[in-house]
Structure 1
Amino acid sequence: MAVTLIAVMATDFCKYWAHRMHHEWPVLWPFHAVHHSAEVLTPLTLMRAHPFETFFRNVFISLLVGLIQGAMVFALVGQSSLLVIGGANAFYVVFNALGANLRHSQVWLSFGPAIEHIFISPAQHQVHHSMDKRHHNKNYGSMFAIWDWMFGTLYVPRNGQEQLRFGVADEEGRPLGQPHETLTAALFNPFTESWAVMQRKAGRRSIQSQHEAEADTRS
Structure 2
Amino acid sequence: MDAAQFQNVLIGLAIAGFALMEFASRRYQATVHATANDTKLDLLVFVSVVAISQPLAILATQNAGQTWFSEFQGALADWPWWAMFALLLLGDDLTQYLWHRASHSPFLWPLHRAHHSAQYMSVRMTFRNNFFYYLMMPGLWISGALLFLGIGVWVYGFYLTAKLTIILGAHCAWRWDEPLYKIKALHPVMWVVERTISTPATHWAHHALTNKDGIGNYTGNFGNMLFLWDVIFGTAHITRKYPEHIGLMDDRIHGQEHWVHQMFYPVVHSKRADSALRIGGTIYDETKHSGS
TM-score range, shorter chain: 0.5 to 0.7
Q: Say whether 1:105 aligns with 2:172.
A: yes
Which of 273, 276, 279 is residue 195 of structure 1 equivalent to?
279
SS of 1:39's equivalent in the other structure is coil
Could you tell me which runs of 5 or more consecutive residues in structure 2 were left unpaired when the two chains were aligned: 1-81, 178-188, 282-292
> Can you list the C-alpha shifts for 1:120-175, whole angstroms capped at 9, x where unaligned?
123321221111214131211111112111111112224xx4243111137xxx96
Report the Cα offset of residue 19 of structure 1.
Answer: 0.4
Distance 1:94 1:53 in 2: 22
Distance 1:184 1:38 in 2: 15
Q: Which residue of 2 aligns with 1:203?
A: none
Rg larger in structure: 1
Q: Which residue of 1 aligns with 2:120?
A: 40
Could you tell me which runs of 5 or more consecutive residues in structure 1 were left unpaired when the two chains were aligned: 71-78, 198-219
Q: Give the root-mean-square deviation of aligned CA atoms.
A: 3.3
Q: Tell me the number of residue pairs that the alignment of Structure 1 and Structure 2 aligns.
A: 177
Distance 1:109 1:183 in 2: 30
Work out whether residues 164 and 225 of structure 2, in 8 Å CA contact, stay in contact via their aligned partners in 1.
no
Q: Say whether 1:138 aligns with 2:220.
A: yes
The 1:177/1:116 distance shift into structure 2, 3 A limit, reads farther
Distance 2:234 2:249 in 1: 21
Which of 1, 10, 14 is residue 95 of structure 2 equivalent to?
14
Report the Cα offset of residue 21 of structure 1.
Answer: 0.7
Work out whether residues 109 and 123 of structure 1, in 8 Å CA contact, stay in contact via their aligned partners in 2.
no
Q: Say whether 1:2 aligns with 2:83.
A: yes
Distance 2:157 2:194 in 1: 22
Q: Say whether 1:150 aligns with 2:232.
A: yes
Q: Which residue of 2 aligns with 1:127?
A: 205
Work out whether residues 4 and 89 of structure 1, in 8 Å CA contact, stay in contact via their aligned partners in 2.
no
TM, length-normalised to structure 1: 0.66
Work out whether residues 36 and 168 of structure 1, in 8 Å CA contact, stay in contact via their aligned partners in 2.
yes
Give the share of equivalent positions with the same residue, in percent: 20
Q: Say whether 1:84 aligns with 2:154.
A: yes
Q: Which residue of 1 aligns with 2:132?
A: 52
* Residues 46-55 or 108-117, more deviating: 108-117
The 1:96/1:32 distance shift into structure 2, 3 A limit, reads closer
